[in-house]
């Protein structure tokens, strides 16, 4: 077992996150409770989907349970299945909304796996053929562009 830089011995955990916080300070919990703004494209009683603020492509959406849990290991198997069912449903609307040719699901657990926010989430990242085989840098869209993208995704969900 290694040692986190200048922190002493790591806590006994399966997936290490220096950014771990409780639900009262978690940005995704705050988005789900409407304490923090976001471009929400989907919501039901247990899950929420919203645009990533620093996306890899137009329409890059995060899908997460409203109930706080740091990694997928904090979820029941049925809830994991439902998370991916919601992500799958959203992927169809996202691909259609942005004119993509495919999509990626990315689900990171722990800091070593590049999990930045310690709340379970699935990235739905639409991709176009011209991006085949490449990973793009994070992008920045204007507030108006993000709001329009969210609107079109919501519209596709209604049609879908």
Beta bridge partners of 123: 62, 106
* CA angle, 155 then 52 then 64, to 5°: 80
Instruction: List residues with catalytic annotation.
Output: 121
What span, in angstroms and rounded, lies between the C-alpha atoms of 83 and 104? 15
**Helix H or strand E encompassing 102:** strand 102-106
């Amino acid at each position: 077992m290694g040692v986190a830089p200048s922190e002493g011995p790591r806590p006994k955990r399966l997936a290490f996150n220096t950014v771990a916080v409780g639900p009262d300070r978690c940005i995704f919990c705050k988005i789900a409770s409407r304490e923090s703004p976001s471009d929400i494209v989907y919501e039901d009683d247990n899950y929420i989907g919203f645009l990533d603020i620093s996306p890899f492509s137009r329409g890059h959406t995060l899908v997460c349970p409203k109930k706080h849990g740091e990694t997928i290991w904090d979820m029941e198997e049925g809830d994991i299945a439902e998370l991916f069912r919601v992500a799958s449903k959203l992927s169809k609307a996202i691909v259609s909304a942005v004119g993509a040719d495919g999509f990626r699901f990315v689900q990171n657990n722990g800091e070593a796996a590049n999990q930045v926010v310690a709340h379970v989430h699935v990235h739905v990242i639409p991709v176009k053929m011209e991006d085949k085989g490449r990973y793009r840098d994070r992008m920045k869209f204007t507030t108006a562009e993000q709001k329009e993208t969210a609107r079109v995704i919501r519209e596709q969900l209604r049609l879908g």
